[in-house]
Amino acid sequence: MRTPFIAGNWKMNMSRAEATDFANALKEKYHDTDVRTAICAPFVHLELLKNIFEGTDIKVGAQNCHFEDSGAFTGEVSVPMLEELGIDYCIIGHSERREYNNETDETVNLKLKRLFASSILPILCVGENLDQRDAGKEKEIVEAQVKADLEGLTAENVSALTIAYEPIWAIGTGRTASPEQAEEMCAHIRDIISDLYGDAVACETTIQYGGSMKPGNATELMNMENIDGGLIGGASLKVDDFMGIINF
Ligand code: 13P
């Protein structure tokens, strides 16, 4: 059985004061649960969150990293730097980074390989845009992304991987994929992994859905066989909404 995994992606939100208030309130309301929980925050808040969540099961993630360990890469943050802070997860290949920051399947693949040589587990994002879905190409688009992004990764890597299926048309739009649409793609992703690595690995990989997930639709989505969790944007900015999803 896969452990449900709910991760918040704060994106470029939260002041230091807001992050502190949120983390203290979450720590207070959080209770023992079988759900794996993480907050993926801007780099500048990571150490703060690690300190506040110390002694709890709440994990902390970054939203990007570089694939090189050091060097002339102005504005970038390396995996060893994140390891020094004890960071648990790192989102890779979010559609916003693919769209605005020239993230490609090639750089995503290099970042995944670097993370798997570290103590930090990646959360890989894939998903189609609205034109691609309207053209009926969503499955082939996601398949091409998964295959390119996982190139050269081992079975052991992929067993420990989280893949977030985030249809771009459902991100921040309030237009959630139906549970059936989300399940269909998450099952497709698991089939692709099964073809590449075998059934045992495919059974281990955690597959999240992301895109306008909130307390009101989390139960239906989480009840789907191949949806093991959620990557939560807007609803991870309010403690009660985030707790509502954790308590799906
Ligand atoms: P929303 O939950 O705001 O739609 O964002 C989803 C997302 O992009 C998480 O990575």
- pLDDT level of residue 173 (50, 70, 90 thresholds): confident
Confidence of residue 26 (pLDDT cuts 50, 70, 90): very high
What pLDDT is stored for residue 211 in this prediction? 96
Close Cβ partners of 36 (under 8 Å, ≥ 6 residues apart): 3, 4, 5, 6, 57, 59, 229
Q: Does 210 contact ligand 1 (Cβ within 6 A)? A: yes
Locate the domains of the chain by residue range.
Answer: 5-246
When pLDDT is averaged across residues 24-41 and rounded to a whole number, the result is 95
198 CA distance to ligand 1 centroid (A)? 30
Structure-block tokens of residue 110: 């290099």
Q: Which ligand 1 atom minimizes the distance to the CA of 170?
A: 4
Residue 136's alpha-carbon distances to 128, 129, 140, 144, 208, in angstroms, are 10, 11, 9, 14, 22
The CATH superfamily holding the domain 5-246 is Aldolase class I (3.20.20.70)
The minimum-distance atom of ligand 1 relative to the CA of 11 is: 10
Q: Which ligand 1 atom sits nearest the alpha carbon of residue 173?
A: 4
Angle (deg, nearest 10), helices 215-222 and 239-246 = 20
- Candidate of 5, 9, 63, 129 to mutate for ligand 1, largest count of ligand atoms within 8 Å of Cβ: 9
Confidence band for 175, pLDDT divided at 50, 70 and 90:
confident
Rounded to the nearest angstrom, the distance between the alpha carbon of 234 and the centre of ligand 1 is 6
Active site residue 151: no
Give the residue carrying structure tokens 């939560």: 232
Q: Can 180 be counted among the known catalytic residues?
A: no
* Per-residue pLDDT tens digits for 103-158: 999 999 999 999 999 999 999 999 999 999 999 999 999 999 999 999 999 999 99
Kindly report the pTM of this predicted structure.
Answer: 0.98
- Residue 192 confidence class, pLDDT cut points 50, 70, 90: very high
